[in-house]
Amino acid sequence: MRIASLGSGSQGNGTVIDDGETRLLIDAGFSLKEITSRLKRIDLTPADITAVLVTHEHADHAHGVGPLVRKFSLPLYLTHGTYRALRLGLFPSLHLINPHRSFQIGGFEVDPVIVPHDAREPCQFVFRSGDDCLGVLTDLGHISSHVVDRFSCCHGLLLECNHDLDMLRNGPYPERLKRRVGGDLGHLNNHQAAGLLSRTDLSRLRLLVLSHLSERNNRPDLAQGAVTPVLAGWRGELVTAAQDTGFSWRDV
């Protein structure tokens, strides 16, 4: 299995995973034009995508979903709550998923995981293909034991490190937004992300991607500095996803 990112952060998100047979796009938070040009960077066109999955309705994950799936007639998978919130209307190949139940797309078994986030019916995903297990985990306000449980199988993990607490506290956001981002239904800070890793079996983990970093409230060196202590002795690959460039293909 391999993974690439079209970009990651509050201005837009999109992750592509590929098991050699099936290619899934998780979230489409850019314009169709931007998605097309970012896919080109990883040698894909929208027509190469087998299906699109959407984690929740926030614009940084869903901005380009409607135009993309309509123009290229792509199957779309999302929860009923996310579908209703996006007001996408009807179109062929709409799959409303039950976030309590796993489902199959091509060679992937997809396991939705409900997360605490201020959207209608948000979920994140664990993907299995053959012996490989990959988790995509962003946009959650805190780590529940349910989340620890469900992501403990992962060989590859794309994990939110949204903000550094001091930068958020002392940064330019209005108080209300600071409370939202830092709240239990907001986003994971660097130390919460490290906390998840400290509760995870790192011997399985081969690839860790720090993602959804806030451009105003975080820096790559702070996110890496927060997780490094809990990664002592770990031999996998550590990658930080960028807003503009994401990252190119990595094997899981």
Q: With CB under 5 A as the contact rule, which of the stretches 73-81, 132-140, 151-159, 241-249 interacts with Zn ion?
A: 132-140
- Find the residue with minimal CB distance to Zn ion: 58
| Nearest distance, CB of residue 118 and Zn ion, angstroms | 7
The residue (of 38 and 58) whose beta carbon lies closer to Zn ion is: 58
In whole angstroms, how close is the CB of 172 to Zn ion at the nearest point? Answer: 19
Which stretch, 54-62, 71-79, 85-93, 174-182, contacts Zn ion (CB under 5 A)? 54-62
Q: How far is the CB of 140 from Zn ion (least distance, A)?
A: 9
Under the binding rule (CB under 5 A), the answer on residue 60 touching Zn ion is yes
Q: Which C-beta is closer to Zn ion: that of 58 or that of 63?
A: 58
Size of the site for Zn ion (CB under 5 A): 3
Tell the burial category of 35 from Cβ atoms under 10 Å away from its Cβ (0-12, 13-18, 19+).
Answer: buried
Q: Tell me the backbone φ, ψ of residue 208, rounded to 5 degrees.
A: -125, 125
For residues 129 and 243, which CB has a smaller minimum distance to Zn ion in the complex?
243
Least Å from the CB of residue 6 to Zn ion? 14
Residues 39, 52 contacting (CB under 8 angstroms): no
Residues of 133-142 as b/e, b for ≥16 C-beta within 10 angstroms? Answer: bbbbbbbbbb
Q: Please, are residues 35 and 68 in contact by the beta-carbon 8 Å criterion? A: yes
Q: By C-alpha distance, which of 243, 252, 250 is closest to 30? A: 243
Task: Assess 27 for contact with Zn ion (CB under 5 A).
Answer: no
Q: Does 139 bind Zn ion (CB under 5 A)?
A: yes
Q: How far is the CB of 158 from Zn ion (least distance, A)?
A: 12
| Nearest alpha-carbon partner for 75 in 98, 45, 49, 43 | 49
**Which CB sits closer to Zn ion, 1 or 241?**
241
Which residue, 40 or 80, is less far from Zn ion as judged by CB?
Answer: 80
Nearer to Zn ion, 8 or 200 (CB): 8
Burial of 51 (0-12, 13-18, 19+ CB in 10 A): buried
Count of C-beta atoms within a 10 Å radius of residue 197: 18
What is the contact surface with Zn ion in residues (CB under 5 A)? 58, 60, 139
